[in-house]
Amino acid sequence: MSQFEFTSRSLADTDRLGQQIATVAQPGDVLALVGTLGAGKTRLVQAIATALGNSPEAVTSPTFVLVNEYTAGRLAVFHFDVYRLKDDDEFLELGAEEYFDRDGITLIEWGDRVEHLLPEWASVVTIELTDADERQVVVMGDLAARL
């Protein structure tokens, strides 16, 4: 399986990673974002969505509504946060599976919690907090092969 590693030492670095991901993103991409609270999952979604042409203010953590859609850019972004998900059914009832086939990319914070419900082509982005401003990012799967 393809793997891509990236060390971010600043928000600007994370913006550059978001730009790189946005450049290779294709409709139907599904990315599970994995990492503890404060790792930078939302920040990376913001970087990707902004690079695609959305305003950074549009990107907020969808913790309570579970999914936000940003459609002002080159590719639509479907932004899930499943931290507060009660069970698998709740995810399926959101119509999650339909999002995977839609004309856009799906980014799922805490995606490891629903990994068994994601399509086989889903990629995994693991973000590890290594210092106050430093993050170690590992991308695995389909997307990694394009980075």
Which residues are near ligand ADP by CB under 6 A? Answer: 8, 10-11, 13-14, 35, 37-43, 109, 133, 135
What is the H or E stretch that residue 103 is in?
none
Looking at the Cβ atoms of 8 and 68, the one nearer to ligand ADP is: 8
Q: 62 in helix, strand or coil?
A: coil
As measured in angstroms, the least distance from the Cβ of 22 to ligand ADP is 16
As measured in angstroms, the least distance from the Cβ of 105 to Mg ion is 17
Which of ligand ADP, Mg ion, none binds 135 (CB below 5-8 Å, type-dependent)? ligand ADP
Sequence letter at residue 7: T
Residue with tokens 């499943």: 82
Sequence letter at residue 93: E
As measured in angstroms, the least distance from the Cβ of 7 to ligand ADP is 9
Residue with tokens 């068994």: 116
Please answer whether residues 112 and 39 qualify as being in contact, where contact means their C-beta atoms are separated by less than 8 angstroms: no
Which of ligand ADP, Mg ion, none binds 128 (CB below 5-8 Å, type-dependent)? none
